[in-house]
Amino acid sequence: MSLIALLYPAFILAILLVFIHAIFGLEIIKRGVIFTDLAIGQFAAIGVAMSLLFFDGKYSFALTFVFALIGAGLIALASYRVKHIEAFIGMLYALGASGIIVLLSNTTQGTELFNKLQATDILFTTTSDLWEPLILYSFVATVFFLFYHKLTGVAKELLFFSLLALTVTSSVQLAGVLVVFVLLIVPAFLALMQSRFRHLPFSWLIGSVLIIVSMIFSYTMDLPTGYTIVFIASLAGVLSALVVGKANI
C-alpha cells in the first residue's frame, strides 16, 4: 500500500484544519490578540479532561464546547473592559493549562492525557472521522463569510468568538491545543508577511504544505505526529520572520 493510500484521510483532515483555522488566524493577528486561540484551546481541553475523568469519555463535545465558550466569552468581555488584553489572555491560558494539570494530577495516566490534549496523533485518521469536521467547518465558514463583515460592535464580536469556540471545540479533540495554535497562527503569519498574493489563499496553501510535509516526516521517522507538526510549522514561522524581517516578500 502506498503512503498516499494509507494516509489520505489524515491528509484530508489536515487540509480541513488548515482551511478553517487560517480564516480565524488572519483576523486574530490583525486584532493583535495572538494567544486567543491558545487560551480558548486550553479551556476547551478542560472540557475534554473532565469528560475523561468524570464521565468515562461521554459528553466530550458538549463539555468541550461549554468550556471553549466560557474562554471565548471572557476574552470578548475583556476586549471591552481590560486595557492590556494580551496580558489577560496570557493569564487565561495559564489558568486553563494549570486547571488541566490539577484535574489530571491524581490519575495514573495524567501526564499521558495532558500530552495528548496538547498534540494528538492524527496520522491514522479514518474516513469515518472526516464527516463531522467537514460538516462543522463548512457550516462555520459559511456563517463567517456571510455575516461577519456585515456586523459591527458587540454582535460582530459575539459571532467571531462563538464561531471560534465552536471550531476549537472540534479541532482540540482532533489535533490538540498546540497543533491548533500553530495552524491558526503560522499560515496566517506567513501570508501577512507577503503582499504578492491574497492572504487567505496563500495561508491555505502554505499551511497545507507545512502540515502534510510534517506528517510525512513524522511517519517516515517514526516521530509523534502532533509535536512534529508543531515543531516544523513553528520553525518555518521563526526562520521566515528572521530572514524576511519587516519587509514584504
Burial class of 109 by CB neighbour count within 10 A (0 to 12, 13 to 18, 19+): exposed
pLDDT for 40-56, tens place per residue? 888 888 888 888 778 77
Average pLDDT, the chain: 86
Domain of 29, in residue numbers? 3-244
Residue 166 one-letter amino acid: L
Give the separation between CA 241 and CA 235, rounded to whole angstroms. Answer: 10
80-89, 90-99, 178-187, 206-215: least confidently modelled range = 80-89
Residue 96 pLDDT exceeds 50: yes
Which pLDDT score is estimated for 236?
A: 94
Q: What band does 101 get if pLDDT is binned at 50, 70 and 90? A: confident
From residue 45, give the alpha-carbon distance in Å to each of 10, 70, 173, 179. Answer: 22, 12, 8, 13
Residue 7 pLDDT exceeds 60: yes
List of E strands, 151-220: none
201 within some domain: yes
CATH value at residue 164: 1.10.3470.10
Residue partners of 245: CB distance under 8 A and separation at least 6: none
12 within some domain: yes
Instruction: Give the other-Cβ count within 10 Å of 34's Cβ.
Output: 18
Interval 170-197 mean pLDDT = 90
Which pLDDT score is estimated for 249?
A: 47
pLDDT for 223-240, tens place per residue? 999 899 999 999 999 999
Which pLDDT score is estimated for 86?
A: 82
Which pLDDT score is estimated for 173?
A: 84
Which pLDDT score is estimated for 141?
A: 95
Cα dihedral 189, 190, 196, 200 in deg (nearest 10): -60
Instruction: Give the other-Cβ count within 10 Å of 172's Cβ.
Output: 29
The three three-digit cell numbers of residue 8, written as one number: 489520505
Cα dihedral 57, 134, 226, 184 in deg (nearest 10): -110
Burial class of 100 by CB neighbour count within 10 A (0 to 12, 13 to 18, 19+): buried
Give the separation between CA 75 and CA 60, rounded to whole angstroms. Answer: 23
Which pLDDT score is estimated for 210?
A: 95
Cα dihedral 26, 30, 36, 38 in deg (nearest 10): 50
249 within some domain: no
Which pLDDT score is estimated for 129?
A: 87
The domain total for the chain is 1
- pLDDT above 70 covers what percent of the chain? 92
pLDDT for 103-125, tens place per residue? 877 766 666 676 777 777 788 88
3-state secondary structure of 33: coil
30 within some domain: yes
Q: What band does 14 get if pLDDT is binned at 50, 70 and 90? A: very high
Interval 7-17 mean pLDDT = 91
46 within some domain: yes
Residue 91 pLDDT exceeds 70: yes
Output 173 or 26, whichever has higher pLDDT. 26
Residue 23 pLDDT exceeds 90: yes
Output 121 or 70, whichever has higher pLDDT. 70
Give the separation between CA 185 and CA 152, rounded to whole angstroms. Answer: 24
Give the separation between CA 207 and CA 225, rounded to whole angstroms. Answer: 16
pLDDT for 188-214, tens place per residue? 999 998 888 999 999 999 999 999 999
Burial class of 194 by CB neighbour count within 10 A (0 to 12, 13 to 18, 19+): middle
Interval 142-171 mean pLDDT = 89
